[in-house]
Every structure is written in structure tokens, then in C-alpha cells.
Structure 1
Amino acid sequence: MRRNTFVLLLACLLLLPAGAHAKVVDAIAAIVNDEIITLYEVTREAQPALSDAERKSPLPLDDATRSKIRHTVLDQLIEKKLVEQKVRELNIKIGDDEIRQAIEDVKKQNKIQTQQALEAALAGQGLTFDQYRAQLQEQLERLRLVSMEVRSKIQVGESEMREYYEANLAKYTEEESFRARHIFFRISDKAPAEEIKRAMTTALMVLAEAKSGKDFAELAKSYSEDPAARKDGGDLGVFKKGDMQPELQQAILAMKPGDVSELISTPVGFHIIKLEELIKGKVKPFESVKAEIEDAIYRKKSEERFSQWSKELRSKASVEIKDLKGLL
């Protein structure tokens, strides 16, 4: 073992006072080109993943599962260490102005107005501003490295984009939409039983007339308690799934144009719906989504290329993972 590695190992093996209860507090988990990753780092970085796994598991996590998570985190830390070393090797520097601009972009995207508000938001995540700034600098360095080593070598051709478009037409098809009218009978949340009974009796009478073919818009003008109905005949306009109350959506999705629904009860009252039109979703033209497709293919290729680059970087590096006998 080389002297510097031996010194590092001694420095990281911290023991409690000798005796029956002595135990390892920290140790070297891996050595990456003469730089160490400690057991403490692995434990700290693995904690969020372990907590998340415990939250999702119906049973307590067994030792094998915990060990697998820790080893996954160790692999991530090794990759991170190799990237840091490559950043230093290529002398990649991120200036203060770039970091300041990135922070301003984050504030703008999250509608944070002041530095104090940003620091308060970070404190809620257990971070100081200096810690966040260091993380952001690290991310920017990594992005610069990826751009130099990976993205600059990627090309996305026109034919490739068109193939992607044809294979994913559903993704670029607008949602179908609906045009409908309604007749509304309001019921307050504290309405007595007699009032509810009267409203339902009226609603059922109007429903029978609507089902018999009477002009729905005229019925809405005469009976609906929607204030706008007297002018627009209960017109709800054009809307998509997700724009409606759940009870109304369930009914409308089962209807065909021209159908009149049964009486629908919601927390605010009774509704009768007539579906006027079902508007099929249109496929967006290729040119209108071309930039989006190029970005999607570019990101996918970048991820694949970076994964391959990381494997090559690791294969050329000296990486020694320590056997910590059950501590990992």
C-alpha cells in the first residue's frame, strides 16, 4: 500500500475507546485515483434514499436492501468524484457572474423576489445560501464538462426527428374537447329536506321535457338558476377533460353528441347536461413541434452518451472499493 493511502486510511479509521463497545465511526469506503470517499459520506448521502424506501415499504427494510441502496449511492459518489477530477484536469472554471446569473434565474423561475426570501426557502430545505451556491457551482461545472465531452459530439438529423414524430403522434395530438349546455338547480348546503325535494321535483320535470326533444336552450333560459343562462341558454362553451367537476365529467364522457344526461347531483345542486359537440383532437403539425422533438432526442442521446462516457472514464481510473465487512 502506498504511504499516502496508508495515512488516509489511518486518519479515517476513528475508533471509540478500546473495549468491548469499540466500533468504527468512519472508514474509507473507496479510493478513486488517490482521493477517498468515506463511509460517513456514503451514509449521509444514502439517508434520503433509505428514508424514501422505508416510507414505501410495508415491512422494515432488511439488511440486503439497505446494503444495495448504500452501494448504489457509493457508485454515484464514485462517478461524482471522477467528474470532479475531470473538471480540475480540464481546468473548467465557472465565474462569479455565471453563478450570480444562475441564482437570479432560479429566483425568477420560482417567483422569489428578494435574497432574504431565497435564503428562507433554502433554510426550509436544510441548506444555507453558501451550501446552495457551492451545489450550483458544481452543477454548472458538470454541465460545462458534459457540453465539452458529450453534447458537442451529438447531432440530431431531420429524418430522425420525423421518424420520432411519426412514432409518437399520440403525444403531439391535442386533447379532444366538448361543447355542452346545462340547466342548473341550486341547492344550498344547509337546505332543508323539503327544499331539496321541491328542487328535485322541478328538475325531474324539466329533464322529462328535455328528453322529449324540447329546445334545451329555451328550457335553460326558463328554468336554470345559472345567472348567465337567460342570455346564453346554459352554454358552457368548449372545454377539455380536467376542466369539469368530476361528477359532470363522468357523465359527459359517457355521452354522444345530442344526448341529454340524467339528473346529476353535485355539492352545489342538480344539473342536466346536453352534449352539443365532441371535437376530436387535431395532430399538431411537425414544424410546430420540431424544436420540442429535437430537444427530446438531444436529451436522450446526451444521457446515453454521458452514461457511456462515465463507464469509459471509470474503466481508465484507479477505483478501489474497500471491504468493510457489513458496514456498507
Structure 2
Amino acid sequence: MNQVKLSCQIPDLVEQIVTRKIITTAASEAGITMETEELQETANQFRFMNKLLSADETWTWLKKQSLSLDDFEEIVYYTAISGKLAAYLFADKVEPYFYEHQLDYASAVIYEVVLDDEDLAMELFYAITTEEMSFYDVAQQYIQTVELRRKGGYRGMVQRQDMKPEISAAVFAATPPQMLKPIMTSQGVHLIFVEEMIQPELDDKTRLEIVSNLFSAWLKQKIEQVEIISRLESNNNVD
């Protein structure tokens, strides 16, 4: 515990303890229980995510983490009950939330090169639009990250909510395929080619993302309430 304190990890540890208490209490009050099959499925998912593909690998991992089998079962139970509580609280709120924030889930397939020099960015923009150079050629010359350079600056399908406001405004005003004029942000000067627009769809992945975000916001609010109550009680004790 002294090492935890000296490592400045006490606040994070306290928040994790409070979060655990909030979740288990809320699940109990809601009457949420776990079936054996649900726990087994969660255990399988946990092992897969941690690359524990055999019993021997699982036991080795538990030993390395100084965990017992009972500890592992508790981890699985807490993970499962958290997911079930999130679904219980917010599953019926997903569709209204999605349609209210539908624009945030729109996506665009883009290629990007970030430069430091605005004049160079403008020069390269005109070279691309007049077909003196291809975007791929620019990416090969000016992208420093090896993997991104190999992909020619391909960023893939990026959601509107994951872009900086100044970039999303320009990207979603484009008519693909279109090369955008250089965009200035705190990261530098962005050269962006918009290849395609993807309309938002409420698929399983998006549903899970929305439930997770709503649950995280709910937890944050509950933690803040606990902190306020704790401060008030502390002040009363001092008085």
C-alpha cells in the first residue's frame, strides 16, 4: 500500500473501489443475477481477450497475477454483472440516443497526411489537384510513421465524433471523392482526401458502443455524487 501511495495511484484505486461498490449495489437493487451459462461465456471471452487459450496458460497467468481460482471467478462475475447492469439500465435508450445523435455516427473513408508547413501543404494540395503528384506519392514522401506510410496515408473509416471539429466540418461538407484544402489544427496542417461517405447504421457494434458510453457517463455521475457526500460528511466531522 505504501508503494501504491508513493506511485500516486491512491486516487485511481479509490475510484475503482467506489465503482465496484456502485455496480454491485445497483445490480443487487435491480435484482440482477447471473446464470452459469452467462458466467461461462464471460470467462471464455476473458480468456480469449487475454490470449489464455489453454488451461495451463490460464493457471500460469493466475500465478503471475497472484490470483486464486476464486479470485478469477470473482473477476468473471464482476465483468459479467457490469455488462448485464449496463444493458438493464440503457438497452431501451439506445435507439432514441442514436437517432438524436445520428450525425455523430456518420463516417467517412479518408486518407491523411499531416505537415508542419502551411505553405508546403498548399503547394502539395495544388500538385495533387492538378495531377502533378498523387496523394500516394505525397504520403510516401512526407509521412514519418512506417505503417501509415505503407498504407499511403489511409486512415480507414473514421466516425465524425472521432474527428476534430474543424476537420469534421470540412470532411462532411465534401462531395467524395474529393481532395480538401489544407486544414490547420493544433497537430499541424492536414491534407485529407475524402474517398467515401458512410451513412450511420445502428448495428450491434454501435449498440454496444452507445450502451458503454451511457453506462460510463452514469458511473461518472454516481462517483461524483459519492465524492460530494464524502466531502460534506468530512466537513461535518470537522465542524
TM-score, scaled to structure 1: 0.38
Look at both structures and tell me which one has the larger radius of gyration over its CA atoms.
1
Higher helix share: 2
TM-score, scaled to structure 2: 0.49
